[in-house]
Structure 1
Amino acid sequence: MWRRLCGLAVIALVVVIAHARYEDRYDMDTLPWDLRPVRNFIGMWELQGKPAGRWRDLPAPDLIDFSINPIPKFGARTVNITHSYYKPNSKDVARSDYGFMPIKNATRRDPRVHVAYLTTSSMGYSMMEQGFVRGPKIITHLKQFLRRSFDVGNNGIDLEIREFERQYEQTDFHHMTMKIRAATAIETEGYTAEYKKVLW
């Protein structure tokens, strides 16, 4: 009897802690001061319709999740990043990108707000982008691309990215545009995708 009650108590505690952590991911009351330049980007963004443009190997994520990570990494507060890509005509996730975005705020010497955009794909690729925040925009450029940092199925694609530029722009609190311009070993890709904030 006591074992069963203790087991239920532990499960209830885990659920409460997990729920609290989930809610804290978007709680502006827990937003570290360093992350204020990107505060309006915090939330879960869902792709609206089909992107306009051309892509082959670098499609727009179906979900983009920017959440609060209050633990400093590399001397700066960070935003956690998750990109989710669905299987065609399904809500099942085919692959994901995970990473974080450190923010370096403006100083007297440098008035720009610098960001890094570091992601690793479940397909085994990793990217490091650097850029800045200017008002309602985040603009990043590729600094390094690691071609298969671990071995997973790649569907016959040996991706090599030579140039990559990403731009997020909020048109209002609930809507965001992502523009991608990229050059791979095979072709040039570029598109504009519209997103709506569905969780914050």
Structure 2
Amino acid sequence: MRRVLGSIAFAAVAVLVCGRYEDRYDRSKMPWDLRPVQNMIGLWSLQSKSGRIIDLPPPDQIDFAINPIPKFGARAINITHTYFHANGQVNRHDYGFMPVKNATRRDPRIHVAYLTTSSEGWSMMEQGQVRGSKLTFHLKQFLARTFGVGKMGDLDIREFERQFEQKDYNNIVMMVRAETARDSESYTAFYKRVLG
């Protein structure tokens, strides 16, 4: 409960600083290119998780927002992952964006990317596709920007697959399978919409 209240307070401060809440999640102001992923827009809170989790835990909150809308260039959804300590304090953040390339006559697939940078010192580039209510991503590049990333200081992600599946408007499931230099991880995390 404390996490949710802290997150809502953080969202309120972000709204005052960055823009109105309505702009962040207002689908009527969303660029046409983002329609294949429009139902993901919102603030999602972790409800439960299961599986093998070591270095790459699921975020406690995922924020998919459309503000600010770029004046030119690629249209993308802004991504913020928030991780909390057991006492409710923020442990770390991942920031990034999700550009969408819509289907064309030559290529009927909807391509998406998941580009994030962690406050713990690494960046990931994932590429994938949208198929109905599923978004599937595969790791293309992992960059450690500082020495000593991860719990043991030697995080090196070799393989990473992420899939989001929207069960209904207010519930999504994130499934992750990863291989690092030390071990493998595989888990399922269930999220519920808090805002949006």
TM-score tier by shorter-chain length is 0.7 to 0.9
CA RMSD, aligned part only?
A: 2.1
Normalising by structure 2, report the TM-score.
0.87
2:99 is aligned to 102
Using a 3 Å threshold, how does the CA distance of structure 1 residues 16 and 150 change in structure 2: closer, same or farther? closer
> 1:92: Cα distance to partner?
1.3
Q: How far apart, in 1, do the equivalents of 2:151 and 2:158 lie?
A: 20
User: Displaced runs of 4+ in structure 1, greater than 6 A?
Assistant: none
Normalising by structure 1, report the TM-score.
0.85
Residues 133-148 of structure 1 mapped to structure 2, 5 A cutoff: 133-147=130-144
Residues 46-65 of structure 1 mapped to structure 2, 5 A cutoff: 46-49=45-48, 51-65=49-63
Q: How far apart, in 2, do the equivalents of 1:98 and 1:17 lie?
A: 19
Q: How far apart, in 1, do the equivalents of 2:88 and 2:173 lie?
A: 22
SS in 2 for 1:157: coil
User: Which amino acid in the other structure matches residue 84 of structure 1?
Assistant: T
Q: How far apart, in 1, do the equivalents of 2:101 and 2:93 lie?
A: 26
Q: How far apart, in 1, do the equivalents of 2:124 and 2:34 lie?
A: 22
Aligned length: 183
2:158 is aligned to 162
1:193 is aligned to 189
Q: How far apart, in 2, do the equivalents of 1:16 and 1:92 lie?
A: 20
Structure 1, residues 163-198: CA drift from partner, whole Å, max 9, x if none?
000000000000000000000001110000000000
Q: Is the radius of gyration larger for structure 1 or structure 2?
A: 1
The unaligned stretches of length 5 or more in structure 1 are 1-14
Structure 1, residues 94-151: CA drift from partner, whole Å, max 9, x if none?
001000011000000001110111000000110000001111111000000002x146
Residues 68-83 of structure 1 mapped to structure 2, 5 A cutoff: 68-69=66-67, 70-71=69-70, 75-83=73-81
Using a 3 Å threshold, how does the CA distance of structure 1 residues 19 and 82 change in structure 2: closer, same or farther? closer
1:30 is aligned to 29
The unaligned stretches of length 5 or more in structure 2 are 1-13
Q: 2:177 aligns with which of 175, 181, 189?
A: 181
